[in-house]
Structure 1
Amino acid sequence: MCKEDCIKATRYYDEAKQNYESPEWYESPNCPMKFNPSPNIAPTDISPVLISGDHYNKETKRVLQPMMFGMIPHWHKGDYKTHKLSTNNCRIEGINSSKLFNIPLKLGQRCVVVCDGYYEWQAKNSGQSKQPYFVYTSQKNIQEKDPNCPEKLDEDSTEHGPTVLMMAGLYDKWTNIKGEEFFSYSVITMESNNTLSWLHHRMPAILQSEEDISKWLDFKHVGSDDALQHLRPVECVTWHPVSTLVNNSKNKDTKCNKPIDLK
């Protein structure tokens, strides 16, 4: 999903202005990494996330900022790729006691990861390769098998074409010895419900409604404990099997998330 599509897909209704607004796209001037749209986002790749405009004292309520997938530990020194921790996911059960995630949580550094969907691998019998699936939000009024199909957007409407997946996350800022700022995030995960437990025992914390998104982003009025209590497994998802092309994070072909027939 490109920058323009992401902005359109994350429009929201501002009660104070009584109008639909677009989030402001913001890129940190000191960050050396840039966003490149890809159907196969892997750890250390850059993707857009929503945060509250209050983090930057912006007039707009929401900001879209490209950040790196996989939080860089705040205590890490050296090259950002060498911390050797798996930080792409954050288990909701241990978030308050986590040395890595507790501080961003208490600072209100909550974000919403915006994407077309995510990949999950179904375990097979011993000796068989895992089958990848693309999981995404159930679509309305468009062909469900293709979540990337284009649709003209009405600037004054709540309909934004294909519905994007919104996942709750936490983010942090890390600065290297050169003074360069790296913004990175982790996706919050929880136990799967009956909808997805056949595929994997864990699933991301998906934000299903505009109210869910607003509460998660509003760190000034919604405390961290209250925000976490609002996260629940949802059923508003669908899926299809995809090619094993996605198994290699270097593959960025658009075929990665296209449906295939299982034989």
Structure 2
Amino acid sequence: MCGRTALALDPTDIQSRTGAVRWSNPDSYRSSRNVAPTRYQPVLRKDTENGGQRYLQCMKWGLIPSWTKQLPTYANALQTINARDDRLKEGKSMWSGMKHSKRCVVIAEGFFEWVKKGKERQPYYVQWEDKRLMYFAGLWDRATIDGQHIESYTIITTSSSNALSWLHDRMPAILRSEEEVDKWLDPNTKFTDDIARLIRPTEEGLSWYPVSKFVSKTGNDSVECVTPIELKPEPPTKPNGNIMNFFKKAAPKSTEKTSERSGKSSSPAPKASLQNWLKKEDGSPTKRKRDDDHPREIQPEEDMKAKDEEPESKRSKRDETVEEAGDEVFKDEQLDLLENA
């Protein structure tokens, strides 16, 4: 995924480095070394009336579809900050119309990703080795809500490169040259296989380093967000004792995390809310698959005496259930990188 970027350049510098002939709404831009979803950032588009020249326009991060008649909640807005490349290629998805005529390029100096280290998440900053501007393939749309026009964008993501797979399994689709930028922006070119080939992992030319957890809070914005740090060596792990004590302590802890993340572990409310928000005027919801189900609620363990009295087959089956549920909680933690927002 791509849920945090950095762009702290002066507006005139951005326009000069991107080759844009104009900037339609520069007053909406605010430089930041910690750009979070829902903020306005500059994207590149091509002018269809003046020879296809590039121009800059600030848009809101977190795409709001044109058929929407109400502003999304923050939780729903996070669902459209990225568009997976595999969904983009599907015949029937919410991106179907935009990928042909509403392509844009999102500008950044770099992006952040978090990796789990024990109970903590360590942020890393990724940029080009030569520190040139990054161009992310994106889509945009315009919605009219309460008489106000809102233009917003999403960043397309693809499978992570071999070099960055340890950090996350997804990464933004980065356009590598000026020629690729022009091809992606061309409003007269449909989303063909030739355009689709621009969306692929970036295997070479990137550099990365760990940064302070200061960047994890979206309200923080200073040079500390992108300053390299030296990680302390991890202490040796201690033995967990026997397996029975491990499950006795771990199961209630997993229950707490599950409840803390999803409110009610089996509740479909967030999914229903998103479907209602994306519902079109004709009443039919936009189909959208989810990558992961909500974590299942983990029942507390019985006391040790009762457990010892259980038949071996029943005890083994229950232990497998606890282990499987623990994996679900871990998976959910890896996906939610914006919990400190």
Q: TM-score, normalised by structure 1?
A: 0.78
Q: How big is each residue's C-alpha offset from its partner over 1:34-91, in whole Å with a ceiling of 9 and x where there is no partner?
A: 221111111101111111111xx23561011111111013332223446725111110
Which residue number corresponds to residue 103 of structure 1?
A: 97
State the distance in 1 between where 2:75 and 2:231 align.
Answer: 38
State the distance in 2 between where 1:76 and 1:170 align.
Answer: 16
1:131 equivalent in alignment to 2:147: no
Structure 2 residue identity aligned to 1:171? W
Out of 17, 31, 37, the residue aligned to residue 9 of structure 1 is: 17
State the distance in 1 between where 2:133 and 2:127 align.
Answer: 8
Identity, % of aligned positions: 37
1:180 equivalent in alignment to 2:180: no
1:114 equivalent in alignment to 2:107: yes
Higher strand content, 1 or 2: 1
For the Cα contact (< 8 Å) 1:112–1:169, is it kept in 2?
yes
State the distance in 1 between where 2:24 and 2:188 align.
Answer: 20
Three-state SS of the structure 1 residue aligned to 2:180 is: helix
For the Cα contact (< 8 Å) 1:110–1:216, is it kept in 2?
yes
State the distance in 2 between where 1:83 and 1:191 align.
Answer: 24
Out of 80, 85, 90, the residue aligned to residue 87 of structure 1 is: 80
State the distance in 1 between where 2:217 and 2:41 align.
Answer: 18
Which residue number corresponds to residue 212 of structure 2?
A: 243
Three-state SS of the structure 1 residue aligned to 2:228 is: coil
State the distance in 1 between where 2:108 and 2:189 align.
Answer: 26
Which residue number corresponds to residue 206 of structure 1?
A: 174
For the Cα contact (< 8 Å) 2:25–2:57, is it kept in 1?
yes
For the Cα contact (< 8 Å) 2:41–2:61, is it kept in 1?
yes
State the distance in 2 between where 1:225 and 1:68 align.
Answer: 28
Out of 25, 32, 36, the residue aligned to residue 38 of structure 1 is: 32
Structure 2 residue identity aligned to 1:2? D
Q: How big is each residue's C-alpha offset from its partner over 1:93-148, in whole Å with a ceiling of 9 and x where there is no partner?
A: 01143532222113x111111111010001223xx211101111111xxxxxxxxx
1:197 equivalent in alignment to 2:165: yes
State the distance in 1 between where 2:190 and 2:227 align.
Answer: 38
Closer/same/farther in 2, CA of residues 35 and 49 from structure 1, 3 Å limit: same
State the distance in 1 between where 2:192 and 2:64 align.
Answer: 21
Structure 1 residue identity aligned to 2:107? V
For the Cα contact (< 8 Å) 2:175–2:198, is it kept in 1?
no
Q: How big is each residue's C-alpha offset from its partner over 1:202-242, in whole Å with a ceiling of 9 and x where there is no partner?
A: 11100111111111111314544431122221122111111
For the Cα contact (< 8 Å) 1:109–1:170, is it kept in 2?
yes
Unpaired stretches in structure 2, ≥5 consecutive residues: 1-8, 233-341
1:247 Cα shift?
A: 0.8
Out of 47, 51, 55, the residue aligned to residue 53 of structure 1 is: 47
1:254 Cα shift?
A: 2.6
Q: TM-score, normalised by structure 2?
A: 0.61
For the Cα contact (< 8 Å) 1:243–1:260, is it kept in 2?
yes
Three-state SS of the structure 2 residue aligned to 1:123 is: strand
For the Cα contact (< 8 Å) 1:50–1:112, is it kept in 2?
yes
Structure 2 residue identity aligned to 1:78? Q
Moved more, 252-261 or 222-231: 222-231
State the distance in 2 between where 1:138 and 1:71 align.
Answer: 30
State the distance in 2 between where 1:185 and 1:73 align.
Answer: 9
Closer/same/farther in 2, CA of residues 27 and 114 from structure 1, 3 Å limit: same
Closer/same/farther in 2, CA of residues 175 and 224 from structure 1, 3 Å limit: farther
Structure 2 residue identity aligned to 1:48? P
State the distance in 1 between where 2:116 and 2:181 align.
Answer: 32
For the Cα contact (< 8 Å) 1:208–1:236, is it kept in 2?
no
Larger of the two Rg values belongs to structure: 2
Higher helix content, 1 or 2: 2
Unpaired stretches in structure 1, ≥5 consecutive residues: 12-21, 140-161
Structure 2 residue identity aligned to 1:256? C
Three-state SS of the structure 2 residue aligned to 1:170 is: strand
Three-state SS of the structure 1 residue aligned to 2:66 is: coil
